[in-house]
Amino acid sequence: ARSVLRSLGTKVEDDGINPLVVLDKARVVQQVRVFNETRLRPDRCLQVLTQLMFLVNRGERLTSSEATEVFFAATKLFSCDDAALRRMTYLAIKALAHTAEEVIIVVNCLTKDITSTVDTRRANALRVLCKIMDATMVAQVERYLRQALVDRTPNVASAALLSAETLLRAGKAEAVVRRWVSEATQALNHPHPVVQYHALSLLYTMRHRDRQAVSKLVQDVARQGARSPMSAMLLLRYIGEILETDTLLDDGLRQQYVGFLESMLRHRSELVVVEAARVLLAVSTVEESTLQTAANALQMLLISPKPVVR
C-alpha cells in the first residue's frame, strides 16, 4: 500500500498508520481511466482496483453512475491474462454489482471465462456470475452451469454447486435450478470429498420443503457413507432436524436414525464425534441410555492430547 501511494507522489510516513486511509474517492474513480489504455499495465490497474476495494469495504458509497463507469472500464481488463489482476477484477465486480445500472455489460465477459481452459478462472467466474445476474439471465447460462455441476475438476464443481445454492437462496429462477437435481445427485458421487459436501447441501436446499424427499436423501447418503468430516457433520444435522421436527416419522426409521447417530460416536474424526453427541443431546425423544453413550464419548475426548478437542 505504501509503494502504491509513493508511486502516486504521496508522502507516506512510516508511523504504522494505514496509508490507504488518505485516499479520496473522486480521485480513485478518475484513475479508472487507466483500464482504457491501449497497452494495459497490470500492476497499475491492480493498484487502482486495490484502492477502490479499500474504499468500498471502508463504507464509501459509489453513485450509480460511478459504479457503472467502473463496470464499463473493467470489461477491458478481461483482455489481460494476469492472474492477480483477474482475481481482483472479480472481487470488484461482485462488490459493485448492486450499485451499477448496466450489470449485463460484464455478463458476456464472465460467460467467456466459464468456458476458459483455466480451471481457477472458470470457478471464480461461476461464483461472480451467479452473484450479479438476475432471474432472467439464468436461462441464458443454464447449459454452462449444468455442465459445471458434474465437472471432474473439484474446484469447478464446487463453485457450480455453491452458485446454484446461491441462486436458490436468493429466490432467483428457482424453477430452473430445481431442474438440476440429476446433476446435483451425480455430484454427490464425486471422488472429491468437498464436492460431496457441497452437493449434499444443495440437494437439501432443493428438497427441504418435501419431508419424504429429505428423508430419502439422508438415508441414501448414510448408506453410501460420507467421505469427509464436513459431509458427516452436515448429515448429522439433517438427521437431528428430522428427529426433532418430523412428528409423523415411523418408529422403526426413528430408531434407525438414532442408531446411526450412535455409530457416529465412534467416528475417526473427533469433530464428527462431538457433533453426533450434540445432536443426540438436542433431540428430546432420545432415551437416557443413548444419552449416556454420548456422554461417555465426550468424556473420552476430554483426555485427548489435542487442546482444541478438549
Helix, coil or strand: residue 302: coil
Tens digits of per-residue pLDDT, 23-79? 778 888 888 889 988 888 999 999 999 888 888 888 888 888 888 888 888 888 988
In the chain, what's the furthest Cα-to-Cα distance? 75
Q: Which of 270-291 are b and which e, b meaning 16 or more Cβ less than 10 Å from the residue's Cβ?
A: bebbbbbbebbeebeebeeebe
pLDDT at 296: 94
Tens digits of per-residue pLDDT, 118-147? 999 999 999 998 888 877 788 888 899 999
C-alpha closest to that of 144 among 133, 160, 131: 160
C-alpha closest to that of 279 among 292, 266, 296, 262: 262
CA angle 143, 152, 127 (to 5 degrees): 55
Upper half-sphere CA count for residue 240 (Cβ side, 13 Å):
19
pLDDT at 70: 84
pLDDT at 274: 96
C-alpha cell at 73: 472500464
**Integer Cα distance of 49 and 90 in angstroms:** 10
**Integer Cα distance of 241 and 279 in angstroms:** 9
Res. 163: pLDDT tops 70: yes
C-alpha closest to that of 133 among 160, 181, 80, 93: 93
Which pLDDT band holds residue 171 (cuts at 50, 70, 90)? Answer: confident
C-alpha cell at 188: 454427490
Which pLDDT band holds residue 260 (cuts at 50, 70, 90)? Answer: very high
Which residues are within 8 A (CB) of 119 and not within 5 positions of it... i.e. 6 or more apart?
A: 153, 155, 156
pLDDT at 95: 82
Distances (CA, A) of 157 to 124, 188, 198, 199, 229: 11, 11, 9, 9, 19
pLDDT at 249: 86
Contact 50, 4 (CB under 8 A): yes
Q: CB count, 10 Å around CB of 165? A: 21
C-alpha closest to that of 28 among 75, 62, 65, 68: 62
DSSP for 28-76 reads HHHGGGGGG-SS--HHHHHHHHHHHHHHHHHT----HHHHHHHHHHHGG
pLDDT at 302: 95
pLDDT at 8: 55
What's the pTM?
Answer: 0.82
pLDDT at 286: 86
**Integer Cα distance of 80 and 9 in angstroms:** 26
